[in-house]
């Protein structure tokens, strides 16, 4: 029986990558040691890091105006790093809030800098949605504008990019990076925890405009200091070497499989299949307005919630793993990142149809 893992993160990685990693686990490149057991400053590992960065630059079309950093501390590490590096005296950092993660980012930033939170949700009649970015009431001046293009828990995605005449635009792309084409030049800093579309948890990717590195910010730990990490090639201290290795493998897999453009086409097809099924069912529902629906995280509810635990148990037995919704919002959630094939979503839809028939 094929098993499909719908976990929101740490999430399913491409099976081909996992197989190769397994083969290389104890003997990488014939060196007689694992990539985890060698110096991060060895010529072999340095070559890996160069290859990894070049691959990400090609995949996302990242110009020389940006530095690419591989940092510790996942997404939340960046919740702290952003205000610590980008704080400006007498200015407020603007946090656009559209769900659980963007609100957590505000809470963390509040420890270090003055923030202004802006609610960009537009919920009406029990339907969740996001205001058009043109209607976000951004103040004339700010140290930076932070937002989360894909709210992993709430299942809300923002496809437009906000702009501001002076303040840099910062995006937490933890659960949307590499899932669709974006123009990196519309941003000043993009960050992402790796454990959805990139690799193992712990490592974070930061794509930062070089001009921003001149900001002094606040006193900060070295491992969260963008300028220092840029100067040190993301090796101020020992980096998470295995996670970096696996990220390089995932990027190579992406390039070999048509890059972000091909992923986006597949992600649209997967999301359409699942949302169309839910919309045409009177057994399940999704509460997000069509224009704000996430392509990566699809929350859904059984109209009869007393069947929830039966659904979770039986889907698990059918090889459809980790469908229970986030504890904050309840219901179910299917995370369908890049590594999830269309067949996995089809298997889920088939199961949902059969479950609905048996329990109606
Ligand atoms: N931001 C978003 C959008 C997330 O989905 C997550 C985790 O799932 C985080 C931040 C936090 O990431 P981490 O657990 O790596 O700190």
Q: Which of 74, 79, 146 to mutate to test the pocket of ligand 1 (most atoms within 8 A of CB)?
A: 74
Is 205 inside a domain boundary? yes
User: What is the ipTM score, two decimals?
Assistant: 0.99
Per DSSP, which regions of the chain are E strands? 4-5, 66-71, 93-97, 115-119, 144-147, 150-151, 156-157, 169-172, 189-193, 204-209, 284-285, 297-302, 320-321, 332-335
CATH number at residue 83: 3.40.640.10
Query: 3 and 341 in contact (C-beta within 8 Å)?
Result: no
Instruction: Summarize the confidence of residues 187-196 as an average pLDDT.
Output: 98
Distance, CA 260 to ligand 1 centroid (Å)? 21
Q: CA 311, 315, 321 angle in degrees (round to 5)?
A: 120
Residues 100 and 49 grouped into a single domain: yes
Q: What tens digit of pLDDT does each residue of 41-79 get?
A: 999 999 999 999 999 999 999 999 999 999 999 999 999
Domain edge (last residue) among 256, 274, 303:
256
Instruction: Judge whether 172 counts as a catalytic residue.
Output: yes
Q: Does any ligand 1 atom lie closer than 6 A to the CB of residue 154?
A: no
Q: Which of 108, 152, 197, 202 to mutate to test the pocket of ligand 1 (most atoms within 8 A of CB)?
A: 152
In a 3-state reduction of DSSP, which class is residue 111? coil
Task: Give CA–CA dist 33/271, Å, rounded.
Answer: 41
Q: Does any ligand 1 atom lie closer than 6 A to the CB of residue 149?
A: no
pLDDT of 82 higher than 90: yes
Measured CA to CA in angstroms, residue 128 lies from 57, 152, 301, 330 at distances of 34, 14, 14, 15
Q: Does any ligand 1 atom lie closer than 6 A to the CB of residue 104?
A: no
Atom 8 of ligand 1 has which residue's CA nearest to it? 9
Task: Give CA–CA dist 294/272, Å, rounded.
Answer: 11
What pLDDT, on a 0 to 100 scale, did the predictor assign at position 307? 97
* Cβ burial 28-49 (10 Å sphere, 16+ → b, else e): beeeeeebeebebeeeebeebb
* Cβ burial 117-138 (10 Å sphere, 16+ → b, else e): bbebbeeeeeebbbbebeebeb
The catalytic residue among 28, 188, 196, 253 is 196
Distance, CA 10 to ligand 1 centroid (Å)? 10
Atom 11 of ligand 1 has which residue's CA nearest to it? 75
Which atom of ligand 1 lies nearest, measured to the CA of 76? 16
Distance, CA 171 to ligand 1 centroid (Å)? 12
Is 6 inside a domain boundary? no
Distance, CA 356 to ligand 1 centroid (Å)? 32
Q: How confident is the model at residue 108 (pLDDT cuts 50, 70, 90)?
A: very high
Residues 244 and 266 grouped into a single domain: no
Distance, CA 193 to ligand 1 centroid (Å)? 6
Q: What tens digit of pLDDT does each residue of 338-352 get?
A: 999 999 999 999 999
* Mean predicted lDDT score pLDDT of the chain: 97
CATH number at residue 305: 3.90.1150.10
Task: Give CA–CA dist 100/316, Å, rounded.
Answer: 26
Task: Give CA–CA dist 356/140, Å, rounded.
Answer: 51
Q: Which residues does 348 contact at the CB level (< 8 Å), separation at least 6?
A: 4, 6, 274, 315, 320, 323, 334
Atom 7 of ligand 1 has which residue's CA nearest to it? 75
What pLDDT, on a 0 to 100 scale, did the predictor assign at position 329? 87
Residues 286 and 247 grouped into a single domain: no
Q: CA 29, 32, 33 angle in degrees (round to 5)?
A: 90
- Whether residue 114 is annotated as binding a ligand: the answer is no
pLDDT of 1 higher than 90: no
Instruction: Summarize the confidence of residues 93-113 as an average pLDDT.
Output: 98
Q: Provide φ and ψ at 293, rounded to 5°.
A: -75, 135
What pLDDT, on a 0 to 100 scale, did the predictor assign at position 43? 97
Instruction: Summarize the confidence of residues 283-304 as an average pLDDT.
Output: 97
pLDDT of 155 higher than 90: yes
Q: What tens digit of pLDDT does each residue of 234-267 get?
A: 999 999 999 999 999 999 999 999 999 999 999 9
- Sign (positive or negative) of CA dihedral 261, 267, 268, 269: positive
Q: Provide φ and ψ at 312, rounded to 5°.
A: -65, -45
Atom 10 of ligand 1 has which residue's CA nearest to it? 75
What pLDDT, on a 0 to 100 scale, did the predictor assign at position 244? 98
pLDDT of 125 higher than 90: no
- Whether residue 152 is annotated as binding a ligand: the answer is yes
Q: How confident is the model at residue 288 (pLDDT cuts 50, 70, 90)?
A: very high
Q: Which structural domain range is residue 264 located in?
A: 258-359
What pLDDT, on a 0 to 100 scale, did the predictor assign at position 220? 98
Residues 209 and 221 grouped into a single domain: yes
What pLDDT, on a 0 to 100 scale, did the predictor assign at position 126? 84
The structural domain count of the chain equals: 2
Instruction: Judge whether 244 counts as a catalytic residue.
Output: no
What pLDDT, on a 0 to 100 scale, did the predictor assign at position 200? 95
Domain edge (last residue) among 213, 233, 256:
256
Instruction: Judge whether 64 counts as a catalytic residue.
Output: no
Instruction: Summarize the confidence of residues 94-107 as an average pLDDT.
Output: 98
Domain edge (last residue) among 206, 230, 256:
256
Which atom of ligand 1 lies nearest, measured to the CA of 152? 5
| Percentage of the residues of the chain whose pLDDT score is greater than 70 | 100
Residues 248 and 325 grouped into a single domain: no
């Amino acid at each position: 029986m094929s098993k499909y893992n719908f976990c929101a993160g740490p999430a399913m990685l491409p099976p081909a990558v996992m197989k190769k990693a397994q083969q290389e686990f104890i003997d990488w490149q014939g060196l007689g040691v694992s990539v985890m057991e060698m110096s991060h400053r060895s010529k072999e590992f340095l070559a890996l890091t160069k290859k990894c960065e070049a691959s990400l630059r090609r995949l996302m079309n990242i110009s020389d105006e940006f530095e690419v950093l591989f940092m510790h501390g996942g997404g939340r590490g960046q919740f702290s790093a952003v205000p610590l590096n980008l704080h400006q005296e007498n200015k407020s950092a603007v946090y656009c809030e559209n769900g659980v993660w963007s609100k957590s980012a505000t809470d963390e930033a509040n420890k270090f800098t003055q923030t202004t939170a802006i609610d960009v949700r537009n919920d009406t009649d029990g339907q969740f949605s996001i205001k058009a970015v043109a209607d976000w009431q951004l103040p004339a001046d700010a140290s930076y504008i932070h937002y989360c293009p894909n709210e992993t828990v709430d299942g809300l995605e923002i496809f437009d990019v906000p702009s501001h005449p002076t303040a840099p635009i910062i995006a937490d792309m933890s659960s949307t990076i590499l899932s669709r084409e974006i123009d990196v030049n519309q941003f000043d800093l993009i960050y992402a925890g790796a454990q959805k579309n990139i690799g193992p948890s712990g490592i974070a990717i930061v794509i930062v405009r070089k001009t921003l590195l001149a900001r002094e910010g606040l006193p900060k730990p070295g491992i969260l200091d963008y300028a220092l990490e840029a100067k040190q090639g993301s090796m101020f201290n020992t980096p998470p070497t295995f996670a970096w290795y696996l990220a390089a493998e995932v990027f190579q897999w992406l390039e070999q499989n048509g890059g972000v453009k091909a992923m986006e086409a597949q992600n649209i097809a997967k999301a359409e299949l699942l949302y169309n099924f839910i919309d045409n069912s009177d057994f399940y529902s999704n509460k997000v307005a069509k224009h704000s629906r996430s392509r990566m995280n699809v929350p859904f509810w059984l109209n009869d919630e007393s069947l929830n635990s039966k659904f979770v148990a039986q889907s698990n037995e059918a090889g459809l793993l980790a469908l229970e919704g986030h504890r904050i919002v309840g219901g179910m959630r299917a995370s369908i990142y890049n590594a999830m094939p269309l067949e996995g979503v089809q298997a889920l839809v088939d199961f949902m149809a059969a479950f609905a028939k048996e329990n109606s």
